[in-house]
Amino acid sequence: MPDASLQIQQNISLAPFTTLRIGGPARYFAEVRTEDDLLDAIAFARKRSIPIFVLGGGSNLVVSDAGFDGLVIHVAVRGSITSAHQSSLVEYTVPSGLDWNSFVHSVCEQGVSGIECLAGIPGTVGGTPVQNVGAYGQEVAETVSSIRALDLETTTFVTLDNAACGFAYRRSIFNTTHRGRYIVTAVTFRFDPARVPQLTYADLTRYFGQSQPTPLEVYHAVREIRHKKGMLIVEGEPDSRSAGSFFKNPVVSPEIFHHVASAVGLPADQIPHWPAGGGRVKLAAAWLLERAGFVKGFVMGNAGISSRHTLALINRGNASASDLFLLRDAIQSKVKALFSIDLEQEPVQLG
């Protein structure tokens, strides 16, 4: 039986727990504040043989209108951040339910560099290793030292070091080989206090010119740039009801790359692209959308495209998941018809 401290609610609408503000109900819903709560929630689901879904800040998530016929475990493990010194390095261990941006701010305020370019990414600390979040030339894999998680195969808490997490571009074992196996309860980050921000992205080097900014200055600059691009959640702004970039940048064969060039009647070197290893080419999903007629501000019923960011599909007010999926499907089939490319959805889909 669940401990008295854990409340399991029924038929809870999931829409308010997502940044898209879309989605039907969870049959059962538990807000988990401690590791003991988490064990109780797992026992509850196992006793009833129902599936579980782990919810952080709901910022990389699309929930269907039917919702989820199982137990949603909302990770709200909060509490204080602990610090430790390892020779010249400093480590912070952060409960997974804390707000990511607040943690970034507190680290930058101390003059410590390493995650300042990841300011303004919504969601929880525990959500960041799942897709190895990254922006403006940084990703969490560079500073994650270890992860504490509940291993659902053994029902024990384990510590995974950085190598065990299998980090790669927008990937980790948590969203690939071991999807659904671990529930992250804390993340330990390691920083070198002697390090200064290293800016590699043009947006930031332009912003600061020749000067060497502090981590806190970079934090504020990144938030300002993200705001201009509609990639910062600001309550009340319509472009904020999104799940960030909705499509991944596709990696294609040289043949497809040349097919795209001939389809738009441009020389290949005028098409935004990057080498992706093994002779393959990464294309900009946003460019493909625009060429297919899905431009900023595009409207399809209650769903649409952000007025500031081509890749962000938005809920214009009362959109259902079906409205959003109609737009997603229209984009995917037009891009496929024009360029023979299957665009892959980035946010996790539930239901």
Ligand X SMILES: Cc1cc2nc3c(=O)[nH]c(=O)nc-3n(C[C@H](O)[C@H](O)[C@H](O)COP(=O)(O)OP(=O)(O)OC[C@H]3O[C@@H](n4cnc5c(N)ncnc54)[C@H](O)[C@@H]3O)c2cc1C
Rounded Cα gap, residues 107 and 193, in angstroms: 10
* Shortest distance in whole angstroms from residue 24 CB to ligand X: 16
Does 134 participate in binding ligand X (rule CB under 6 A)?
A: yes
Does 52 participate in binding ligand X (rule CB under 6 A)?
A: no
The nearer residue to ligand X, 126 or 257, going by C-beta atoms, is 126
The nearer residue to ligand X, 283 or 312, going by C-beta atoms, is 312
How many residues interact with ligand X (rule CB under 6 A)?
32
* Shortest distance in whole angstroms from residue 56 CB to ligand X: 2
Judged by DSSP in three states, 25 sits in strand
177-236: contacts with ligand X (CB under 6 A): 183-184, 231, 233
Does 158 participate in binding ligand X (rule CB under 6 A)?
A: no
Does 285 participate in binding ligand X (rule CB under 6 A)?
A: no
Does 38 participate in binding ligand X (rule CB under 6 A)?
A: no
Does 124 participate in binding ligand X (rule CB under 6 A)?
A: yes
158 residue type, one letter = V
Verify whether residue 308 is a known catalytic residue.
Answer: no
Verify whether residue 290 is a known catalytic residue.
Answer: no
Verify whether residue 346 is a known catalytic residue.
Answer: yes
Beta carbons of 302 and 318 less than 8 angstroms apart: yes
Q: Whose CA is closest to 310, among 338, 285, 335?
A: 285
Does 315 participate in binding ligand X (rule CB under 6 A)?
A: no
Beta carbons of 267 and 261 less than 8 angstroms apart: yes
Beta carbons of 119 and 223 less than 8 angstroms apart: yes
- What is the full DSSP assignment across 81-123? -EEEEETTEEEEEEETTSBHHHHHHHHHHTT--SSGGGTT--S
- Given the DSSP bridges, would you call strands 348-350 and 61-63 parallel, antiparallel or unpaired? parallel
- Which one of residues 213, 244, 250, 304 is an interface residue with ligand X (CB under 6 A)? 244
* Shortest distance in whole angstroms from residue 315 CB to ligand X: 11
Rounded Cα gap, residues 111 and 217, in angstroms: 10
Our measurement of the distance from residue 85's CA atom to the centroid of its chain's CA atoms, rounded to an integer in Å, reads 29
* Annotated active-site residue in 245, 291, 306, 328: 245
Rounded Cα gap, residues 53 and 152, in angstroms: 12
- The mark string for 56-85 relative to ligand X (x by CB under 6 A, - otherwise) is xxxxxx-------------x----------
For 40, residues 6+ apart whose C-beta sits below 8 A from its C-beta are: 2, 3, 6
The nearer residue to ligand X, 184 or 218, going by C-beta atoms, is 184
* Shortest distance in whole angstroms from residue 29 CB to ligand X: 13
Residues near ligand X (CB under 6 A) are: 19, 54-61, 75, 96, 121-124, 126-128, 130-131, 133-135, 174, 183-184, 231, 233, 242-244, 348
Q: Residues with catalytic annotation? A: 170, 245, 346
